[in-house]
Copies of this chain bind each other. A is one copy, B any other.
């Protein structure tokens, strides 16, 4: 309760050594990460990219089954956007039972590689992540009360 606030000089953070600089802003992007995020925005895009980066060209149906829980509408939509953005290439064999497959362009492939560390992170910390999510769900489910 005593008012001895005279700039306590916060300790200069022993944790969190700086990571790397980020060339800031070309068009309307805050930084490179910002640019990337806009491209991979969408619930399924990173998964699609990563999946394609692993398995090479894949038929629509295979992708559909691989990316669990995705609906046709969503998968098609995201693939279209990825295609428009020059990350995936669509090949339509014009066959009679439709046959189409998707593969990564070089650009897409490089993005796929940039996703690898994220995947590794998730794999390494999956235990923590899933614990955290369990709590989050409990919290969401129970808490409909005014802020406790």
Contacts and interface: CB of A to CB of B under 8 A. Distances in A.
Given A10-B101, A16-B52, A57-B13, A119 B22 contact: yes
Contacts of A130: 26-29, 35
Nearest to A81: B136
A104 to B, nearest CB: 5
Contacts of A57: 10, 13, 15-16
A120 B114 contact: yes
A59 B134 CA distance: 30
A16 B8 CA distance: 54
Contacts of A122: 29, 31-37, 39
Interface of A: 3, 5, 8, 10, 12-13, 15-23, 26-39, 46-47, 50, 52-57, 59, 67-68, 84-86, 91, 93, 95-96, 99, 101, 103-107, 109-130, 132-133, 135-136, 139
9 contacts: A16-B56, A17-B56, A19-B50, A22-B119, A26-B126, A27-B133, A29-B126, A31-B123, A107-B128
